[in-house]
Chain A
Amino acid sequence: MRAQASARPLPLQETSALAAAGLVLARDLRLAFRRREQLAQPLAFFAIVTTLFPLSITPELSGLRTIAPGVLWVAALLAGLLALEFLFRDDALDGTLEQYALSGQSLTWLLFAKTAAHWLLTGLPLAVVAPLAAGALGVPANAFAGIVVLIAVGTLALSLIGAIGAALTLGVKRGGVLLSLLTLPLAVPVLIFGSRATELAIRGESYVAPLELLAALAVLGVTLAPLAAAAAVRISLE
């Protein structure tokens, strides 16, 4: 099943840049849906990690509400990290990455498409599910909409930052831990702005300022991260 999908190379040469990105995105989504059971894994991980905190700290909702912003973001960060190792791995193994690099299309753009697919499969579902976890941690319902937006934007930034780490550690044996070690310090600003905005949302206050900072990080990530990832991928292909 797997071999069939990758045996047929994408017709990237003859298409426009936008269409090529669309093809890559669609392919990644298609391949992910072939293993439907694995789609829920980041969500399950997120739920389990969230559960660990009440178990290890306190069942009191008032206390949990205080730590909820941190718990939600750390859990989202770790859940996103899990899937990153495989962002480029399979394509590197079966030669698809090489094909992308040689296709004449901008590798940066194609890798952005792959990262967008990763976010659609991991970050966005997490954003949708986050209110459930938040509610379990004593967060009032009026904060839910804000939480969805914040986690959606934040996980996009995290996917982009993580893509750099994934590209750098391509082919490294047991590179998952190294990937996490590289990505986490770079993810700290996202964590700080995201959890602060969440805290404000829970209190019913305006969270526009940190949201803008978070969005700025995402924009910076969109412009620079795929570039760095492409450079790292090219180096690994030499």
Chain B
Amino acid sequence: MAWTWFHRLGSPPYVYRLAARLTPWFAWPAALLILGGLYGGLVLAPADYQQGDGFRIIYVHAPSAWMSLMVYVTMASAAVGLIWRIKVAHAVAASCAPIGASFTAAALLTGMLWGRPMWGTYWEWDPRLTSELLLLFLYLGYIGLRSAFEDLQRADRTSAVLAIVGVVNVPIIHYSVTWWNSLHQAPSVMKLGKPEIATAMLVPLLMMLAGFTLYFGAVLLVRLRGEVLRRERSTAWIREALGA
């Protein structure tokens, strides 16, 4: 029973229609959670003992950083497409790239804006920012590789190999950067989350993380429909789907 449903996920017309139906179920809860998290984070949560109101940047920085990683891991789902030749999996991977890259850039910029009042400088080679920067390069490489091929199928399959290689490397890169940074004992370490974070501060953060995750789902579903259409040649179901 579960297998039939899983098998259906490989079917472009099924996915196209399912994605359309599911989108509001991701979009509306996402909006509510984000708005709730904004109110909780900007208004309700008390100012931080050390960072004052500046710490509130965490409510956009942390979700962006979370997105950058989560989306990259999702992109590696293209592996499924590579091994079992499932076009829908490639469509998922293709949908992820611009989302992930733009949120990685947002994480970097908000990290820098957070760093300026806290460290005194816009840029510090601390492990988190440096890893985030390298992740951006990985995304740009992926997007660059995709765009190098005219043939969509070759682009899909080649970039799938890169995504798998990348996802294996991300923990290695992060480990090596953290190791490198600890050697030189950077004078100021950004305190992203203190061990005991007050509930009033934590709850909005969790809401934002959940909200961004659902938002990703919604945007992914919309892009997925577009990417699935681009990969389809057979007309039968398309005529029906477009008429709908």
Contact = CB atoms under 8 A, between A and B. Distances in A.
Q: Do chains A and B touch in the complex (CB under 8 A)?
A: yes
A185 B173 contact: yes
Interface stretch (B8-16, B94-102, B159-167, B208-216): B159-167
A231 B172 contact: no
Interface in A181-238: 181-182, 184-186, 188-189, 192-193, 196, 213, 217, 220, 224, 228, 231-232, 235-236, 238
B176 A185 contact: no
A169 interface: yes
Interface stretch (B47-55, B138-146, B198-206, B235-243): B138-146
Interface of B: 82, 134, 137-138, 140-141, 144-145, 148-149, 154, 157-158, 161-162, 164-166, 168-169, 172-173, 175-177, 179-180, 183
Contact of A224 (B162, B168, B175, B179): B168
Nearest to B162: A168
B176 A193 contact: yes
Q: Is the interface of A mostly helix, strand, loop or mixed?
A: helix
B137 A184 contact: yes
Interface of A: 164, 168-169, 172, 175, 178, 181-182, 184-186, 188-189, 192-193, 196, 213, 217, 220, 224, 228, 231-232, 235-236, 238
Given A168-B162, A236-B154, A236-B158, A181 B144 contact: yes
B164 A228 contact: yes
Contacts of A168: 145, 158, 161-162
A201 to B, nearest CB: 15
Contacts of A196: 180, 183
Contacts of B166: 186
A228 B148 contact: no
Nearest to B139: A185
Given A178-B144, A235-B157, A236-B154, A188 B173 contact: yes
Contacts of A238: 154, 157
Contacts of B162: 168, 182
Given A178-B145, A181-B141, A192-B177, A186 B165 contact: yes
A109 B169 CA distance: 22
Given A188-B134, A220-B172, A228-B161, 9 more contacts: A168-B145, A181-B141, A182-B162, A184-B137, A189-B173, A192-B177, A196-B180, A232-B161, A235-B157
